[in-house]
Amino acid sequence: MVDPELPMIFGFVLTIIVIGLTSGYLFNRQHHHHVERKLEMKARTAEAEAAKAQNADTDYRKLSERVQVLERIATDGNHALAAQIDELRALDAIEDRTEAAS
């Protein structure tokens, strides 16, 4: 003999299991989406930091080159600097004469 309430109990248990599995699936999907977004944000942050470091390195190299030029100018004898300035003036004079002739 089958108890008449047994199908109703079975239906209730089955409903609870379906609701539980659906909720678990939705929670798991949302969790994976969250983890994906988190990793994407970390990757973007790392890319931005790498670009920033590269720009800082470029700026550092430019500044280093400028300091080297200034050190060279400061340590060279004044005669070498004066000779370079005179050469530049001579080039400017040649350019001025060329432009005036045109």
88-98 pLDDT, tens digit per residue, is 788 777 777 77
Domain that holds residue 61: 57-102
Number of domains in the chain: 1
Look at residue 15 and tell me if it is in a domain.
Answer: no
- Give the model's pLDDT for residue 96: 72
pLDDT at 93: 76
Residues 35-68: pLDDT tens digits?
A: 999 999 999 999 999 888 888 778 788 888 888 8
| Residue 101 included in any domain | yes
Is residue 79 a part of any domain in this protein? yes
Q: What is the pTM of this model?
A: 0.46
3-state secondary structure the chain: CCCCCHHHHHHHHHHHHHHHHHHHHHHHHHHHHHHHHHHHHHHHHHHHHHHHHHHHHHHHHHHHHHHHHHHHHHHCCHHHHHHHHHHHHHHHHHHHHHHHHC
Q: How confident is the model at residue 13 (pLDDT cuts 50, 70, 90)?
A: very high
